[in-house]
Chain A
């Protein structure tokens, strides 16, 4: 009985809830813009994601999930995981390079086997425009540019 009462109240509340968010992992391709968008479609639809902690993307198992069809960088050999990381994190890597530090940048530098990360970060910061050459630059180009600059 208690469970039913709790449940009924929860339904009412969840349905009325106003600002839960559903995460939409957009397939952003190979460039900038890999930001997760809040699904604004309906207030109540958003409640679902919070209730069930699910995402509206496909549930997957395994690392190399979702083919990106992105070009691979030419100046360094990158495995699937590294390529996926660089493509999915273009924005945060850009922010980190401009700031001169950051977790995403550190991760990328490790993935392409750069040893002296602090020095690399400084060099890249001073050459930001040579790495992120335009707003439509691709992840393969960014990685190649990084190698060229360092």
Chain B
């Protein structure tokens, strides 16, 4: 009996031991629905999955062979990697893994969750307390940067923006040939990568070096959301996707980070062919992220404000010390500007700097600098425009451009005098004739950069496209160069010289026409209307000189609609004149 009991106990113990120790071989509670999970929007966001594939091009980002095109394969491969405790897996994909453990509670029974120590250390160092979407605005003299740029800033809990970290997405290259650059930048020839650098370094670039104003849009990301963002950033930091200037660019790729930070956010899918930086800021605003806009003026603006303040001081004695102080401050800023343009070497610069600053320190502290805050770029008109116009010659003109801003558009929220358009097409319908192309500009850029006592930029412009010239359609190339001056606040005057070239494939005498024109203009800008007068006299090598004077006005009706009036007078060399008055409706979307 005793032996039977002993045997029974042994058998029972053996089975119990077996039962409770190797849950492996029993019907395990671990299971998951791979298909359903892989169709979860958040999983797809983590993979940057859009239009049937992941936008990430690095092979290392995928554990499954077809991971780039199959979220399900990638999910299954990730889970296998977790269970097998594949090398470094917890540090390679911390965001994915965290999410999987949340979605599959039984996963921890197969493999216990492990934090990634390096990531934890990084998050501790960053102490993210506030997120900001930073928007350096256009640089007036530089066409590509006329669209601006965006990057994210994560502030730590010291409340000091300067020591915050900037998260940037950009193309990596050491290329030196301009054409190759431009070509590759447009067509995905470069790898785009995320990087992090101190915010003060970005300020040095944009505000100090490039004279660009910066708008800082504060976001309402919670601490948990910022940690999610950083965790995901950690898993994509060593990956790249091909960079496309127009679409998969700096601004677009930040949106992925925000979508991962906050579930059920829809940002990347609101763009399908172009991403102009300000539009990405608009999308972020529409998604409810932005709480406040802060303006950071460029160094150029600060210098101008110093000069104005100094000039506004009276000649009386108490002001003299202050005047010297302003001058000392201006001298320092100009010295730094010269150094940034490499006009003096470092040794000379540092010596002069110390000398200047010694003097400055003995002069009084200055009152707060008054710099007029421009309108928030978010108040600007939308990027694409269609127009409908009628004129006194019974013609109807229909216009369309996908981007961005020209001389007739209201300048609220834009850098004044900076005009850039791509693919601006105008169709014309005349009585008893069929509709045809009146003008088509592939690219149209004008940079009317104001000259003053300190800054002396050259104004310039270029236009390439097709144009109706002497009732026939020609290919056209015009350029212009000149100077622009401010004649009052928000009023500028330009004087340009404009060479032009028209070409038409035919055997006629006038199949190639060269022209040159002096061009003068005055533009007056207001928040809700603008008035301009442009006068030019074109001399052509084939004769048929043409004088044109145009007075125009655009008035805002709503943020995205406006009415434009043009009164144009043409006079040819026989003094025959024609006046064309037209009324247009602009609609921006």
Q: State the A residues within 8 Å of B (CB).
A: 2-3, 5-21, 23, 25, 31-33, 35-38, 40-45, 47-48, 50-56, 59-63, 65, 81, 84-85, 88-89, 91, 94-95, 97-101, 103-104, 106-107, 110-111, 125-126, 128-129, 132, 134-136
Contact = CB atoms under 8 A, between A and B. Distances in A.
| Top-9 shortest CB links A-B | A44-B178, A128-B361, A52-B171, A9-B442, A9-B443, A20-B142, A14-B182, A59-B195, A98-B357
B220 interface: no
B351 A135 contact: yes
A104 B185 CA distance: 35
Given A89-B200, A99-B365, A45 B443 contact: no
Interface in B172-215: 172-179, 181-183, 185-187, 190, 193-198, 200-201, 204-205, 208-210
A101 B205 CA distance: 22
B246 interface: yes
A65 B126 CA distance: 13
- Could you tell me the dominant secondary structure of chain B's interface residues? mixed
Nearest to B460: A18
A50 B354 contact: no
B350 interface: yes
Given A62-B122, A88-B200, A33 B346 contact: yes
Contacts of B578: none
Contact of B181 (A45, A55, A132): A45
B181 A44 contact: yes
B426 to A, nearest CB: 15
Given A37-B340, A48-B175, A12 B443 contact: yes
A66 to B, nearest CB: 9
B365 A20 contact: no
Interface string B314-338: 0000000000000001001000100
B339 interface: yes
B139 A132 contact: no
Contacts of B366: 99
A15 B178 contact: yes
B183 A60 contact: no
B183 A11 contact: yes
B588 interface: no
Contacts of A63: 122, 125-126, 165, 196, 198
Contact of B163 (A16, A99, A100, A107): A107
Interface of B: 122, 125-126, 139, 141-145, 149, 158, 160-163, 165, 168, 170-179, 181-183, 185-187, 190, 193-198, 200-201, 204-205, 208-210, 237, 243, 245-246, 249-250, 273, 329, 332, 336, 339-342, 346-347, 349-351, 353-354, 356-358, 360-361, 365-366, 402, 422-423, 442-443, 445, 457-458, 460, 462, 464
Contacts of A107: 160, 162-163
Contacts of B173: 48, 52, 54
Indicate the member of A11, A106, A128 with the most B CB atoms within 10 Å. A11
Contacts of B193: 59
B144 A135 contact: no
Contacts of B201: 25, 88
Indicate the member of B182, B197, B423 with the most A CB atoms within 10 Å. B182
